[in-house]
A and B are shown apart, each in its own frame.
Chain A
Amino acid sequence: MERKNSPASASPSQVIEVNIDIDPDADPPTIPPITNPSPTGDSKACRGGTCDLSYTKDSHERFASMRKLIIAVVLCIIFMTVEVIGGIKANSLAILTDAAHLLSDVAAFMISLFSLWAAGWEATPRQSYGFFRIEILGALVSIQMIWLLAGILVYEAIVRLIHDNGEVKGFLMFAVSAFGLVVNIVMAVLLGHDHGHSHSHGHGHEHGHGHGHSHEHGHGHSHEHGHGHDHSDEHGHAHGHEHEHDHDHDANTMTTYFHHDHHHNKDVKEQLIKKEKKKSKRNVNVHSAYLHVLGDSIQSIGVMIGGAIIWYKPEWKIIDLICTLIFSVIVLFTTIKMLRNILEVLMESTPREIDATQLEKGLCTMDGVVAVHELHIWAITVGKVLLACHVTIAPDADADVILDQVIGYIKRDFNISHVTIQIERQ
């Protein structure tokens, strides 16, 4: 699959090479070319098949998310048809409006489903990084829709205010929005549920998690737990990563990293316990659909309160508007964190969980390395990080050995799988 990007060598047999080559980083550069007839050069650039940009390893997790979303869509459509029929029968605009909101929910789910499905497409020469970005763009579109809907609801509240002639029946509003709230809560539970299951499978995976995370903690990264949720999710997907970590630590001979091992053994237990408690680990698409549903339920609560007030005291219409405004603002706040994530990925900024200064310092302290510059770390989607940099080495150093060391260090300590290092001599 990788070979699509190198038209110079297009033999399909090379696909096999990538899977075999899981050398630990004590990889002697003195392997004579004859024993490896086809260049396994990719061993440096991508180890153990995790360089696969087609997401086939995480397809298991992906299908689980897709299944959940499909169930949610079907439920939504059922409820929507019920509401439409009821609204036409009762000739009530309020019920039809709520059905329209459910329709927007369906649209958001469709976007998420499409993004999930599209992320599994194979990388092409034109789209050399795979289709993961579609997730991010889909989430952006979803969030824009949430904002749009909040605006529409505020507008509707104003319309209700203007039409002072008592057309609005408070009771009907209350009942309809209560029904909508129940539907939304059901879907929120469905979307937020059972991620715990997929992570409790196989303790080996959890160890991998522990390693992945205690790296970050060991280095004293800022503990943004919100982010930690998302990222531990992504680490869990590529099961190949975990095995790799184990291998690397077993073959570890560099003393500078030895104490990290002890660190890990101590921290793994704590990480495991912490992980069972954390419940919000989600794929970015499922998360945005969840946000959509959450926003809707918050709005429903607001409309319910407004309806109750109008029902109880029809002259306090202004409170309805104020209520809607407040709840819309609350909904907008829930989307801000996700929006920030999306923005950072789209701006190709250094992901929050990677400490770039630490990385540079670590690289510069290696022997042979004189300077590091043009360091770019960016994410293709939340959780998949790439790195490119230029390393200047002393004129007499062995470029190959240093390349191995650098790549090994980056992969081990920062869990960045796609690394491109340009070595220059001074």
Chain B
Amino acid sequence: MGMQQKKEKEKDPSSFSYQFPDGDRRLAFSRQPSFLYPSPSPSPSPSPSPNPLMQRSHSFTRSDSKDSTPILLMLAALRAVANGSRPIKRLALMISLNVAYSMIELLIGLFTARVGLVSDAFHLTFGCGILTFSLFTMGISRRKPDETYTYGYKRLEVLAAFTNALFLLFLSFSLAVEALHAFMQDESEHKHYLIVSAVTNLLVNLLGVWFFRSYARVNIVYWKPEDMNYHSVCLHVLADSIRSAGLILASWFLTLGVENAEVLCLGIVSVAVFMLVLPLFKATGSILLQIAPSNIHPSAFNKCSRQIAGLEEVLEVSQARFWELVPGYSIGSISVQVKNGVNEDPILQHVNGLYNDLGIQDLTVQIDYR
């Protein structure tokens, strides 16, 4: 791909547009750079602005004022959900179902003094809280970058996915503790009345899995930040449904007379949830830790480095650092030593072109003269 072929498009991490529709996973092997628009030279924004001060290539619209009253906030949230994309609507529906269900469960548990129902309601509420955070980030991630958040709000999606993954890890841990608890307890204490709630929970969660069915896999290649968020939501409801199914199975086995059924089922569910969530946790964690982009092989970086260092005018390449802002958008900075008196523009173009081919959209090149 030569530099001449590259189109001058606005380099804006918050406005992706992909040529294939949502959910098309068949193009998993295509090279990334052909779908994202690389920007060869970081020129100022297309609008010719005579003002030399504070010229940026991102538009600076501060998003609409944050209304301070909670009612207006809620109305704004409702409006955002109504206008949002399909996953947002589905997620909002699921969350409201879950919240309604957990409220009912809590009240019933309080009135009938059944501890099991109350604990289940708490579990659900925590999960709902985290799902609400995911929903919130889906809405807010479309904002344009502004002064404080110069890279935009897309990172929040990765953070929401990480939080979901963390919650699932906690869940698996607490299920293991519950299994231990059941191991030490008498079988007569098993709470059979939980079956009804488990069945309802299972149904609601299966609905959620069906909504996000294209993400119902353990290992997914992430092309855009929404992918991570949706994947984490899907895993969340999947884990919840596995847990409910496990409870139902345990009850059934107990009535069949199988000993220690509860321990076994809970243990299996705990391990299953842990294995489910681990890849997502690692992927989101590595983005948050500023690890080099995972879709680019490290040897490719070395090769680019060597190519640049092999140029005539270049003395040394140093401080090459790359990181992923969100899946699909990588940023880097590099420092190039050139001989004195050399025109820097072609070198800039060349370096930018090289790294753009690799998939680094935003590169800052510092050229030092010696």
Contact = CB atoms under 8 A, between A and B. Distances in A.
Do A and B truly interact?
A: yes
B305 A392 contact: no
A350 B54 contact: no
A159 interface: yes
A144 B163 contact: yes
Contact of B309 (A9, A370, A399): A9
Interface string A139-160: 0110010001001001100110
A133 B318 contact: no
Interface in A2-53: 2-3, 5-9, 29, 31, 33, 36, 39-42, 44-46
A267 B285 CA distance: 42
Contacts of A133: 288-290
Contacts of A128: 290, 292, 320-323
Using C-beta atoms within 8 Å of the partner chain, give the interface range for chain B: 35 or more
A68 B44 CA distance: 51
A361 interface: yes
A299 to B, nearest CB: 16
A129 B318 contact: no
Contacts of B301: 125
A138 B265 CA distance: 31
A188 interface: no
Contacts of A8: 305-306, 308-309, 316-317
B51 to A, nearest CB: 9
Interface stretch (A69-77, A171-179, A416-424): A416-424
A212 to B, nearest CB: 22
Given A8-B317, A400-B369, A389 B348 contact: no
A420 B364 contact: yes
B285 A137 contact: yes
| Chain A interface, >50% SS class | mixed
Interface string A369-412: 01111111110100000001110100000011001000000000
Contacts, number: 211
A389 B55 CA distance: 11
B101 interface: no
A315 interface: no
B53 interface: yes
Contacts of A399: 344, 367, 369
A41 B337 contact: yes
A403 B368 contact: yes
A347 B149 contact: yes
A344 B151 CA distance: 12
Given A137-B288, A361-B53, A348 B333 contact: no
A148 B309 contact: no
A256 interface: no
Contacts of B365: 420, 422
B148 A392 contact: no
B115 A162 contact: yes
B364 A45 contact: no
Contacts of B44: 371, 373, 392
Given A373-B55, A373-B57, A41 B290 contact: no
A6 B320 contact: yes
Contact of B321 (A5, A31, A44, A154): A5
A72 B319 CA distance: 39
B147 A357 contact: yes
Contact of A350 (B57, B147, B288, B308): B147
B142 to A, nearest CB: 15
B273 interface: no
A247 interface: no
A424 B320 contact: no
B324 to A, nearest CB: 11
A269 interface: no
A29 B367 CA distance: 13
Given A5-B319, A155-B118, A137 B289 contact: yes
Given A8-B309, A346-B155, A45 B319 contact: yes
B149 A349 contact: yes
Instruction: Tell me which of A347, A350, A361, A388 has the highest count of chain B C-beta atoms within 10 A of its own C-beta.
Output: A347
A108 to B, nearest CB: 13
B56 A45 contact: no
A164 B113 contact: yes
Nearest to A51: B319
A313 interface: no
Contacts of A88: none
A290 B113 CA distance: 37
B161 to A, nearest CB: 12
Interface string B141-185: 000000111110101100100010011001000000000000000
12 contacts: A41-B370, A126-B292, A127-B290, A128-B322, A133-B288, A163-B113, A344-B148, A348-B325, A361-B54, A374-B56, A380-B290, A388-B364
Interface of B: 41-42, 44-45, 52-57, 109-110, 113-115, 118-119, 122, 126, 147-151, 153, 155-156, 159, 163, 166-167, 170, 285, 288-292, 298, 301-302, 305-306, 308-309, 315-323, 325, 333-335, 337, 339-340, 344-345, 348, 362, 364-370
What 10 A-B pairs come out closest when comparing CB atoms? A8-B309, A128-B321, A41-B337, A420-B333, A6-B318, A388-B364, A41-B368, A133-B289, A400-B369, A420-B364
